[in-house]
Structures are given as structure tokens and as C-alpha cells.
Chains A and B, each alone.
Chain A
Amino acid sequence: MTSNANELARDRDAAYVLGFDEISSNDHDLVGGKCASLGEMTQAGVAVPPGFAVTTTAHRAFLDASGIQPKIDALLETLDAGSTDSLASVSGAVRDLMMSHPMMDDIAQTLRAAYAAMGDDLPVAVRSSATAEDLPDASFAGQQDTYLWVVGADEVVEKVRSCWASMFADRAVKYREDNNIPHSDVLMSVVVQKMVNARSSGVAMTLDPSNGDRTKISIDASWGLGETVVSGEVTPDNFLVEKVLLSVVDRTVSKKQVELVPDLVSKTAVMSDVPEERASKPSLSDDEVIAVADLAKRLEKQNRCPQDVEWAIDADAPEGANLFALQSRPETVWSRKAKEKKTSAHSMGLDGIVGALLAPANAAKAAKKT
């Protein structure tokens, strides 16, 4: 390593925020799984909504400078993980403690500057990016908070702190206790990203979830923001795409009666009814289906294993540049099963040919016997 690179590495370790183009998969400890994955996507040329990562360095600095770490530790000493009541009261106390301490100035200023660089009062999403999250065996995503339609620098700073506090959500504390993960080992990074004004969004899996078939990409899509798809509030459209040839082999268009849409006045996303004539229309055109599939395929290739990709089509962005990957995580269900599959021997050369020629006749023979 050259001295220059050393310096750069030190700078990165000390930085409170990093751009996605500065992040790689090696930065898991620094920015958590979600941000590392956004960084990787950016490196692979997959578009993600613009934004930045708040590093674990910032979180550490907050805990150290505010002097609350010993208080947190003391509170956790009193925890009886077997008791729901204790879990709720201790976790709640830790969260209150964190929320009662203001953000340090230098962190707040860094956040404000990074936010301002994205545009004037741009609505953003603030999400936690835990360093222990997103591991294939620790699928407790969603246990930390996500704040949508956050507008203004003050709000952004506030929500970053809320994300840090959410590390002590009851379930997260319980999970760490159950899995013997020391609470002090886990730091939280936060991702701030432009809110996608999603016309359509959903989830793409780079295998067929019904049977684990890796030659298919299964896309769930609905109108508006993707939370309705993930939460199951709508029955989404489903498109099954052949992965190599990128052709649509099956489609089920459902009636999508509600959608989550941005409400700039209330600065939140609100559920609204989808007009009758649009509800039964496919939420993606064929070209868009292929574009989503292609994006998921690239992410699978980059991560070298089947992926579960959240994506959205932004109504504000021009056609052809309006598809964004929101996050990509390894698929867990079938990836584990595949390893149990037993292998059978295959005869080669001429023996293989004879085997193929005889297959129908052998099937006929077997049918006769039964």
C-alpha cells in the first residue's frame, strides 16, 4: 500500500459520511450491510437513488462524546431477556436515553452539508444499515426503523439519531441476547437516500420462489411505493422471466386496489385507492419487466448468489433512467436447500447417447410394471 492509499484509508475510517461510489463490500463494518450493498451496486453500474451513508464512525463518536455508553451498559446489566416486561422496559429506557442526547455539532454539520449537496429540501428516506443485519443466517431485516419522506436538514439529523436508537428496539435486543451477540459490538450505520417518487415498485428474486428454479427471475410489482408489496397489503402483479434469454414466460396481473403514494403536504406516504381502470392494468410494461430482470441479474452476478432485490421506477426520472435498485440481499430459503440436493452420475459420450435414446422406452417399461 502506498502512503497515499494509507492516508485515504485513514480518512475513510474517520469520515462521518461516505458517498455510495466510495463504498465497497469490504466496508461492512463501516457502513453496514445495506450501504455496502448500495456501494457495490453503484460500483457495478446499477443505478440506486442518490444519497450518502452515515458511517459507524459517526455512531461511535455520538456514543463516546455524549458519554451515554456507560449508562447504556448499566441499563442492559439489569435486563432479564427471558421476561417480556423487562425487555420492553430496559429497551425503552435505552432508546429514551439516546433520544434525549442532542447530536454533536460536527456530526450534525457534516450531515447537513451532505444533505444540502443533494438538492434543496429534497425528500429523503433515512434507513438504518446495521452491521449485523443482512447476514444470510440472521434475517432480521426490518427490525430497525425506516423513515420515509424526510424533508429538511433538521429532520434528517433527527432521524439519523432515531435510527441509532432503533438498534435497541425490543426485538433487536432480544435477537442479540438469543444469539449471544454483545450489544456493544454492534454499531449502526444509516443510509440517507432520495425518496423515489415510485410510480411502480416491488421485489425481484433471481430464482423462482415456488420451486427454487435458478433459471427464472420472479418479479412482484405494484403501483406506488414497494412497502405494499413487502407487507402483503396488495396482491402484486407477478412476472416470471427466463433469466438467460430475458424473456417473459409467465405473467399474472392482479387487481391492485391500493397504493402508497407520497403526500408532500403531510410529508409522508399515504395509502390511497387505485382508480378502477388502473388497478387491473399491469404495473410494468414488458420492457420494464425485462429492465428489472436485467438489473436483478446483474446484482446476482455481482454477489455470486441468488438475490432478493427491491426496486422502484421513479416517476420524476426520465424513461430509460428511471429504474433504481433500492436494496439487494442474498436469497435465504432456497440457497440453503440447494446444498442438500444429491447429485447423480451422468454417463458420458456414447453411453450418454444410448441412455438418452433409451429414456422413452425405459419410461414405457417402468409404466408397464406399475
Chain B
Amino acid sequence: MDKQVSMFPSPYDIPAPKGAEDWQEMYPYYMLFQPGNREAEEQEFYFCNNQHFPVPTRPFDSMILEYTAKTLGQYNTRQWIVPPANGIEYRYINGYAYLRMIPVPLEDIEARVPKFLERAGHYFGNWDTLLENWHTKVMAEIEAMEEITFTPLPDEVPLEWVHEGRGHDQTTEFMANFDHMLQGLHRTWQLHFEFLNLGYAAYLDFFTFVKEQFPTIPEQAIAKMVQGIDSVLFRPDEELKKLANLAVELGLNDVVKGGDLAAIAAAPNGDQWMAAWEAAQDPWFNYSTGSGILSSDKRWIDHFDIPLSFIKGYVEQVEAGKVLIRPIEELAAERDRIVEEYRDMMDPEVQEAFDGKLGLSRLVFPYVEDHNFYIEHWSMGVFWRKARELSKVLQNAGFWEEEDGMFFVQHSELRDILFDYCNAWASGCAPQGPRYWPEKIAKRRQMLDILGQERPIPAVNNPPEVITEPFTVMLWGITSESIQRWADAGKSDDSLKGMAASPGVVEGKARVLSGPERLDELQEGEILVCPVTAPSWAPVFGKIGGVVTDIGGIMSHAAIVCREYGLPAVTGTGFGSAKIETGMTLRVNGDTGSVEIVS
């Protein structure tokens, strides 16, 4: 093939921002494009995964990218032998995470089919039993992670240990705990993907079938047919609504709106509300304001001001006469109506096939939704709590100045740090770390700040002619069309195209947010513009007019939640948050997937 002009730049030609030239030292060598490999690596198409890594990744957090990619890949490549798809390769560019799907060579696909049928067939055939087992395993992992503790090493080996002739010291357990934590994390991410790819595959089949019957059907309509109604993903928000209702019932409106827990407890009936507040926390307050997978994600359980401010908003809505609790029966009836109406329009010959595929999709779909709470929010919530515990111990030992210092070192560097700490304790000398890390961490913080001021380019190199990897489309909304949109986005004037993720048309002022930190700035009726949303942003969805995201497919969390809240949404615009500025007037068309900058 002739050498063509590449659609996107080469990763080797992207300069580092001034002041962040050394960014590569924050990540392991295997996550970087290597200078010696330029010719081969320029052949490969990578897209920015700012859906899961919306800001430049902290060094420690790059481990999450490794584990997620590795565990997703192992199921496709080694367990299910998915005919057309292997796993994912990752690279960092200027702190942003990029992914490449690894397709199976066309000539190898057929031989994989019988293996896939046998292996995946077992899971589909025993879905409920295996899923029950999955729940047991997840709960065991959460419990095991909860048991891990990191406390500063004491002055001496206990006398009893001497008497019983134990023969090792506390550092053994300290370092083993770190290993257990990482092993637990590894197993947890394997559990995350145990059912997920199969779930998406079954949904993809249903999706393809319905599209074939009705080529112009909105993708959101297909999603609505299988979407869960009482998914645990909605539970945390439901709990807050219940607490708001209870506050009004008990006449505690004002004190609860005040958000001072001590004052609430002291108020008449306050004990009753406090009991409900505490009962809701485990496990629902493990909910994160971000995707939940990053060290910077805040959780309700650690930041009571977040759920309290949401409750305040809900109390105000109750006072304004709004009914908060989701009408489960109505939602179920609406889902049935949608299914029935499309089914009625099908030829009678294909209705049976539709029923079968819908049935299978509905069997798998609860997992596709629910796993997110169990893994990203709950399991990861416990993991990050333990990680912060360790960071604090090392902070107290002088390795860094701030509580979150550990997240600015790579996990492989952390092993050295632990040995430094334990060795110094054993030897009775000072560790070297405190003389080495604080400066390095300060430099890394500065670099991440600088990197974060630039939006990532959406992709590098040339895309393949056809994307043969089916999960890319489902999870990241990446199709030949969306890639073309990214390539065109820099050129076009005052409109953006994305995915019609949730129906409706709305006009309003834009508010561009890069993360959950400034969610409270959102004003009534404004349009939220951001790289990506998390389901836990739901409480603000009650007052905003619409959502525009840079990335995300039709099954992305933003799309699911927007449909749930009836908000017009356009996802996967590629450049929305870079191009739109706060205060601009936008017209968001969630029916067609277009966003116009009106003024």
C-alpha cells in the first residue's frame, strides 16, 4: 500500500507541553511508545480513553489501566477465545491513556469459533448459577480487602513472638499486606470481566438484529428494551431520595438542608433520621463522584458533604411538590410498551427470533449494569481506602508531605519504598525515601497540572479500514463514522456531531466541567459539557437541561443515566469540552446527536 497522509498525528510527533517534558518517567516503560519501535508503532491506531481516564493519570493509577486492560484481554484471548477479538494494548501520551484493540487476523477467526461456542456456551447455559457464584466471590474479595490494614511499624518485635519462636518480624506482614492488596485488586478486575464481554456480545447480537429489522431505529430505543429498571446502580441515588423524604416527614427540612450532622442529631426526631443515614451508608455510600477507579475519585462515604448537598437539593424538590421516588411500575410498563410496539411492526416470521434474542439480552443485562456498583464503586472503594491508609503510614514516615503522596509513585517504585521503609526500621537508620521522594512528587504534581491544561488529541495514526473488533463499538462508541467525526472536528465551525444517546431537544447555557469538583456550580437548566460523566452525578441531573460528553457510546454510563432522567444527551462528540466554553448558548438535539453553538 502507498504511504498515505495519516488521519491523525504520529505519537512520535506530539510534543510534550513546556514544563512537562519528563512526563514519561511517571509510567512504566511498557506503557510508552519506544523510540526504537517507531516504524511498527506508527502502523497502529490508538484512541484516547478519556472515558475512563478523563485527566492525566497519576503514576500509581496507571496500574488500574494495566489491570483493566490485562483482565479484559485475558477473557477474550485466553478464556473465551472470542473469534474476532483479542485484548487491548495501552500507551500513554502526555499523561493521557490510549488504547488499541487487537483484532484476530481474518484467516485465524474461523478456527476459534468452535472453541468459543464450547466455552461461552457453558457460561450462557449456566448463567444464573455462575452469576450467583460470582456474587459470592465478589463479596469474599471485598471482605478480604476490608481485613487488610496498614499501621506504622511498632518499636519492637512483641515478646510473645520471641517466646513462641516465631522467627520473623512485622515487616513480613506489612509487605505481604501490600502484595495481598494488589493480588486482591487483580482478582477483582478479573471478576469485573468474567461476565462482561459475554454480556456485551449477547447485547450486540440483539442490537444488530433489531437494527437489521429497523435500520433507522434510534440506538437508545434498543437500549431501552433491555435496560434494567431496578438496577443497583440506581440504589445510592434512591437512598438519598429516601433520606430527603424522611427529612420532610420528620419536619427536619431546614436542619438537614443545613448539612450539619451534629445539629441534625441534636434536633427532635434527629436520632431517627441519623439511624437511617447510617444504615444507608453500607454499602451505598461507596458510590464515587467519578468512575470510581481512580485515586482522585471522591466517595460519599469519605466526603459526607457530597451526599448531604444532594439531599439538600432533593429536600428542596420535595418542598416544591415534586415526587422523588422512581415509579418502578410505570418504568416497567413503559419498557414493555416499547418492546411491544416494535415487535408489532415486525414481520410475524421474525418475532420469534426477536423474542429469543431479547430474552438472552435481558438475562445478561442486569450484570452489565450491576457489576459497575459492585466493582467500580464498592470493591474499588475499599481498595482506595486501604491504599490511602498505606499512603498515610508512609507520609508519617516522611516519604511525602501530603496524605495522597503515594499516588504519585508507580506501583513498582512503591515496592522499593516499602523495602526502604522496612529496612530502615530493621536497621534502626533513617530511610532514604524522605530525601528523594518529596521533590520528585512535587515535580510530578506540577507536570500533571501542566498536562491537564491541554485536552488530549482523540487518536493517533491511521484507523483500520474496518473496525472488526465488536466491543470497541459497544463500549467506546468507536466506529468508522465517529473516527471521521474526530478527524473533522477541528475543521468544522459551530456544530458538533456525536451519538444520539438520550432523546429530546434543549437549548441552554453551557457549563464546561472537567471533573466532579465543581458540580455545584451547575445552574438550573444549564447544559453540562464534560469529557465524561459518572452515574453518581445523577443528583444534579434533576436540575440541568441536557448533557454533552466528549466520549462514550450508547451504553456509556452517561447515556444510561440521561435516559433514566429523561435528559437530552449527545455523547462521543470527541471535542465538545474543548470547543465549547461556559456561557455559550447551545442547542442539544438528543434525537439526532447534534450540538449547535447558537451564540
Contacts and interface: CB of A to CB of B under 8 A. Distances in A.
A243 B121 contact: no
6 contacts: A214-B214, A247-B504, A249-B216, A352-B356, A353-B124, A361-B84
A108 to B, nearest CB: 47
A365 interface: yes
B83 A357 contact: yes
B116 to A, nearest CB: 7
Interface string B290-307: 000000000000000000
Interface of A: 208, 213-216, 242-245, 247-250, 286, 341, 343, 346, 348-361, 363-365, 367-368
Contact of B124 (A213, A343, A349, A365): A349
B356 A350 contact: no
B117 A361 contact: no
A353 B349 contact: no
Given A248-B505, A350-B120, A357-B82, A242 B109 contact: no
B214 A349 contact: no
A245 B350 contact: no
B469 to A, nearest CB: 8
A364 B201 CA distance: 19
Contacts of A216: 216
B113 A354 contact: yes
What's the dominant secondary structure at chain B's contact region? helix
B83 A245 contact: no
A243 B341 contact: yes
A61 B219 CA distance: 59
Given A216-B216, A244-B338, A349-B124, A361 B109 contact: yes
B163 to A, nearest CB: 62
B266 interface: no
Given A244-B338, A245-B503, A249-B218, A357 B353 contact: no
A341 B347 contact: yes
Contacts of A359: 208, 470
B124 A361 contact: no
A356 B470 contact: yes
A346 B208 CA distance: 11
B459 to A, nearest CB: 18
List the 8 shortest-distance A-B pairs measured between CB atoms, nearest first. Answer: A356-B205, A346-B353, A364-B466, A361-B468, A247-B503, A361-B84, A353-B205, A356-B208
Interface of B: 82-85, 103-104, 106, 109, 113, 116-117, 120-121, 124, 201-202, 204-205, 207-209, 214-218, 220-221, 224, 337-338, 341-342, 345, 347, 349-350, 353, 356-357, 360, 465-470, 473, 503-505, 591-592
B214 A248 contact: no
A250 B347 contact: no
A367 B465 contact: yes
Contacts of B83: 354, 357-358, 361
A360 B104 CA distance: 12
B6 to A, nearest CB: 20
Contacts of B469: 360
Contact of B84 (A208, A346, A352, A358): A358
Given A215-B217, A358-B83, A343 B347 contact: yes
A341 B349 CA distance: 11
Contacts of A349: 124, 356, 360
A364 to B, nearest CB: 4
A360 B82 contact: no
Contact of A360 (B84, B113, B201): B84
Contacts of A243: 341, 345
Contact of A356 (B85, B104, B204): B204
A244 B350 contact: no
A282 to B, nearest CB: 13
A354 B208 CA distance: 12
A243 B214 CA distance: 12
Nearest to A364: B466
B187 to A, nearest CB: 27
A357 B356 contact: no
B477 to A, nearest CB: 15
Interface centre among A242, A247, A355, A367 (most CB of B within 10 A): A247
Contacts of A353: 120, 124, 201-202, 204-205, 360
Q: Which has the most chain A C-beta neighbours within 10 Å: B204, B224, B466?
A: B466
A358 B218 contact: no
B592 A250 contact: yes
Contacts of B220: 245
B76 to A, nearest CB: 10
Contacts of B214: 213-215
Contacts of A348: 353, 356-357
Given A215-B216, A247-B504, A349-B356, A354 B470 contact: no
B356 A244 contact: no
Contacts of A361: 83-84, 103-104, 106, 109, 468
B124 A360 contact: no
Nearest to B471: A357
Nearest to A367: B466
Nearest to B204: A356
Contacts of B356: 348-349, 352
A280 B207 CA distance: 39
Nearest to B217: A215
Contacts of B360: 349, 352-353
A141 to B, nearest CB: 26
A213 B106 CA distance: 35
Interface centre among A242, A351, A363 (most CB of B within 10 A): A242
Nearest to B123: A350
A365 B85 contact: no
B221 A357 contact: no
A214 to B, nearest CB: 5
Contacts of B349: 343
A364 B503 contact: no
Contact of A242 (B117, B201, B208, B218): B218
A352 B205 contact: yes
Contacts of A250: 592
B503 to A, nearest CB: 4
Contacts of A242: 217-218, 221, 503, 591
A348 B356 CA distance: 7
A353 B106 CA distance: 18
A358 B109 CA distance: 8
A84 B503 CA distance: 57
Nearest to B346: A214
A350 B356 CA distance: 11
Contacts of A248: 505, 591
Given A356-B208, A361-B106, A249 B84 contact: no
Nearest to B107: A365
B516 to A, nearest CB: 29
B205 A355 contact: yes
Nearest to B472: A360
A308 to B, nearest CB: 17
Nearest to B467: A360
Residue in A244, A359, A368 with the greatest tally of chain B CB atoms within 10 Å = A244
B221 A245 contact: yes
